[in-house]
Amino acid sequence: MKTAEENFAALGLTLPPAPKPLGVYKPCLVDGKYLYLSGHGTVKEDGSLIIGRIGVDMDMEAGKLAARQVGLAMLATIKANIGSLNKVKRVIKVLGMVNATADFERHPYVINGCSELFSAVWGEENGIGVRSAVGMGSLPDNIPVEIEAMFELE
């Protein structure tokens, strides 16, 4: 059975820099055997953000890719703070927020971009947790997706 680090390497994806807080909060917090990640945005490899609202500036496929990019930023935070993706036992909960027009209804599809990434890294059994995917009237800096999550540690 492959480790989370081996699974990630096999995807051929690159992590962006772990995002720094833009407010008064911690990007992650370990409490006993749980790891909590604050809301993460669409940080790209060069440190810039994917910007735009789904239904105006981008379609739902671009939104799904943006959600995957948020997942990559979350993985970067995990590695920067606890050292290895292998230290995560499983995904407990994901909350995905989608910056979309009022008539957009495919929020879960967009957040699948992150959930599919986590499933590929930790496997279907441990990489898929409970989840909410909701629409927002706006998000910070007009990013299309923000996601927070909770994980169980080994």
Full pLDDT tens readout for the chain, 154 residues: 899 999 999 999 999 999 988 889 999 999 999 999 999 999 999 999 999 999 999 999 999 999 999 999 999 999 999 999 999 999 999 999 999 999 999 999 999 999 999 999 999 999 999 999 999 999 999 999 999 999 999 9
Report the pLDDT value the prediction gives residue 83, as an integer from 0 to 100: 96
Quote the radius of gyration of the chain (alpha carbons, Å). Answer: 14
Report the pLDDT value the prediction gives residue 137, as an integer from 0 to 100: 94
Name the one residue in this structure whose structure tokens are 């953000």: 49
Residue type, 29: L
Report the pLDDT value the prediction gives residue 22, as an integer from 0 to 100: 83
Report the pLDDT value the prediction gives residue 59, as an integer from 0 to 100: 97
Give the DSSP letter string of 22-75.
Answer: SSSS-SEEEETTEEEEEEE--B-TTS-B----BTTTB-HHHHHHHHHHHHHHHH
